[in-house]
Chains A and B, each alone.
Chain A
Amino acid sequence: MLDFMDHVQNAFYTSTNWNVDNGYTRLNSSAQSILDFRTPRGLRFHLSSLSTPNFATSYSLGSISVIDGSLSYLYSTLPLSSPKSADVDLRLLSPGYRQHHPWKYPSPTRDDALMYGRMFLPSGTLEALYLKRLGATKQVRVTAVSDSKLKHGGTILAMLQQDTGKWSSEYLYSTDVALLGWRGLWNFGEADPRPEGDKPVGRFSGGAEVYYGVLNKSAGMSTGLRYTTLPQHPGIPLTMTLTLNPLMGHWTATYAVKVGEKAAFASRFEFNMFSYESDIVMGAELWRSKGEEGMEGVLKAKMTQNGSLGLLWEGRLKELLFSIGGAVDFRRGEGMVKVLGVEIAYSS
């Protein structure tokens, strides 16, 4: 389940017409959200509220080993809609299969900004985020963390994002190891409002990323390709991706398919051609609806090659949102349950 603040940020992106999905890091987001869901650990409560349309607060309290918690504040120059836990669409909070649409040119927007800070207790770690739109196609995103345990006391990551619809690119710099990075995505095909003719049923996208750590003189890169069906596709929606890390010889192939409104399946196969190591993960998400009002809950499950099973059940109980999950390893006799957790959230 998405954090309240993540949800508010998504609302900000939506309000400012920023297409988060049009980026290289979201190339295989469909498979990722089905396979790499986060399972809660321990008991955790979230209490959030959008006090004014521009200001939000959130508190969380958890108990994994010791009582720990965090308090966060968010300010947006753009008034945001209030995501109450009683009536928010669960699909926004628990993203699953991602339906892509034909790309379109960005529409002009205001230069809005968002600021967010979070303090973790009792560790004293401080997180901060600054988000600023620069015209119709650009956005600056700066994140920082301050923690005495980290090297140099903290890290700042600055990112310039550019999205023209047809293509997108991101330039980033991290103060940790002086990491420089670039990543880009290219969408093949025509823009959405086609003047005439039949609409496309699918779309290819290709991209790449390159990183270089100045201080540790290490580099990293990958390249990827995606095919996804568009809403006009007559058959079942599906997304296929193939990524390659040429330095490490690592291939990753994902396949995600949406079967009807309530079910989606995904699989991921990884192979390293240098070490001959391989891995396969399969997962599914099953939605449960309640009449016409939308979705009531979702069950996510994944199974890995080494026999471990991850389960997550998220839903709404009255005005509370809950998330129950755990990981089970069948190969271990006793102590099969490795992780178990419950999260309860209320927001107004």
Chain B
Amino acid sequence: MAFNFNWSPLSATSTSSTAFYDHAKSLLTAALNKSSKPPIIVDDILVDDLNLGASAPDLEILEIGDIAEDRFRGIFRMSYRGDACLTLRTKVQANPLNTYLSTASSITSPGPLAANSPLTIPVQITLSQFKLSGFVILVFSKAKGITLVFRNDPLESLKVSSTFDSIPFIADYLQKEIERQVRRLFQEDLPVAVHRLSLRLWNPEYAASLGDEATAPAKPLQTGESEKEDADEDAENDDQYFNPLLSASEREESSSQFSQKNLLKLSSLMDAQNTLSLDTPKIADVVFRAWASGVAHNATMWDKPGALDAPLAGESRSYAFSENGDAIETQSIASSRPSLSTTPSRCNIPTTPSRRKKKHRVVDLRKRRTEPTKTPLSSEPSSSESTPLASAASSECAVEEGYCERPPAPIRRVREDSIDYDPTEIRPSLRPTVPITLIRPSSPTDSTATEDITYPPRGPPTTASKPIPADKEKAHLRQQESWRESPKIRMPPGAPGGILEQAILSKIMAEIQRTLEEERIKRGSVDGKWGVERELENLCGQEELPAYRAI
């Protein structure tokens, strides 16, 4: 297998190549003059002429070790017999004694009278008839750029012609010296240059570190945080919302705020979901909603520094009461039902065609309701009378009807129009689950993360009820009560399958937290923390303990 290069745009006659050659020449000139030159060269090195010739190099694929959309590793055989040429111009000191004395110590200088007279000669060196043949190892990854290595010395031969062609001694010297330099260029300088260039193209973080990208994000986004980031950001500010499927202009507007790397990954994920493909691209370091609850501690969410300064009570930046309420809701559910993600076959049963809307990437665990009752979100605790029925229904529907029509998807902002069920109606049924918000302060000392949590009407902090998972109905009722009383700890009345285990885990966590709090109150001092707790805080940051959120 081989490549077919379209080399014609690089021919010197083409107009489009003029700009390319100008750019290449200036780059080459800068590169040649950057390092310290030997004392024999007394002037800047100028690239007079650069021509890549009419024929392209031959590349033959020998081996492909790894191939994917965003990465590649392979070995090629490259050979070149083209007519590329390069002409350099500079001035050299022709008197070797002058060069020698310029570097010698003054006390041991022989001190000639005029034998060291300078003679600067303009030199023009033309490199042509490149004959290259070698094995190239090419490794490409979008995150790490292109690594290109020559496995052997690719230079077979090269013709050097210069002003000194008539003087065999100097001509030989130049030939040898330039061949040595070109070999070094291929084996050392070129890989470095290609790598840097590729990083600049694909890695905005690297580019930002170079300082040439003023619009780079203030805090570089980490891989895997993008989904959280997105959900987070759009709750906070609609203008900052980014959807890969938005129009190009919109994308351009917001693209500066996100890591290009993450955007590429997200868009490939989107593309995968627009088809019937069962395969979801893996994104490194990403916690999918369906897995989320178990690894809640590990999921990180960076907050924008400005947002943390002004947490809003009514509109929490972390999935609070806003037009994005639905997104919040569904996210909580998904994170609480990790066990269901192991049954992807059900995911392909669409319950409603309208759910196929592109923007709807919400994991829906509920049976659709037909009678919508428009209740304001803030008054949802009052609809607790429907809870028994809803909770029973929820426990069934999750198993029987399937919970979504898509594979597990990252949390995205969900538009109201894309949600075809009424949130207020379903909400009570969701309450039994434990919505765990994955909140991590931007710094260990920052306590605003928990302040973001919006609580239901506050009551005196009493002990949370301890529902027995087996007794679903009872437990749920008690949970509902306790939910009003305690802002922090609410336990589910029980859920099928893994949810149960999850609930127990969460409960234990809550219990520990509660006990610690009680102890602290007993001791009457805020600072009187238990050693274990203090250690925990030191380890995880002040507010790292799972914060349960009211909805």
Which residues of A are interface residues toward B (Cβ below 8 A)?
Answer: 24-25, 27-28, 125, 127, 129, 143-145, 147, 150, 155-157, 159, 172, 174, 176-177, 179, 181, 183, 209-211, 213, 216, 218, 220-222, 224, 243-245, 247-250, 252, 270, 272, 274-275, 277
Contacts and interface: CB of A to CB of B under 8 A. Distances in A.
B167 interface: no
Q: Is the interface of B mostly helix, strand, loop or mixed?
A: loop
B115 interface: yes
A220 B107 contact: no
Contacts of A127: 105, 107
Q: Is the interface of A mostly helix, strand, loop or mixed?
A: strand
A27 B113 CA distance: 8
Contact of B105 (A155, A250, A275): A155
B112 A209 contact: yes
Contacts of B117: 222, 245, 248, 250, 252, 270, 272
B110 A211 contact: yes
Contacts of B121: 274-275
A132 to B, nearest CB: 17
A118 to B, nearest CB: 8
Given A248-B118, A248-B119, A275-B121, A220 B95 contact: yes
Given A248-B119, A249-B119, A222 B114 contact: yes
Given A248-B94, A248-B95, A222 B108 contact: no
B508 interface: no
B108 A224 contact: no
Interface stretch (B19-27, B96-104, B259-267): B96-104
A249 to B, nearest CB: 7
Given A218-B96, A275-B120, A243 B114 contact: yes
20 contacts: A25-B113, A27-B113, A125-B105, A144-B108, A145-B107, A159-B110, A174-B110, A177-B100, A183-B113, A209-B113, A210-B115, A213-B96, A218-B100, A220-B95, A220-B96, A222-B113, A243-B113, A248-B94, A250-B118, A274-B119
Contacts, number: 100
Contacts of B100: 176-177, 179, 213, 216, 218
A25 B95 contact: no
B384 interface: no
B152 to A, nearest CB: 32
B113 A24 contact: yes
Nearest to A159: B110
Contacts of A209: 112-115
Contacts of A177: 100
A64 to B, nearest CB: 16
B146 to A, nearest CB: 39
Contacts of A221: 115
B292 to A, nearest CB: 60
B112 A222 contact: yes
B172 to A, nearest CB: 12
A221 B113 CA distance: 9
Contacts of B97: 211, 213, 218, 220
Contacts of B94: 248
Nearest to B117: A250
Contacts of B96: 213, 216, 218, 220
B111 interface: yes
Given A181-B110, A209-B112, A244-B114, 19 more contacts: A145-B105, A155-B104, A155-B105, A159-B110, A177-B100, A179-B100, A183-B112, A209-B115, A216-B100, A218-B96, A220-B96, A220-B97, A222-B114, A224-B113, A243-B113, A248-B94, A248-B95, A270-B117, A274-B121
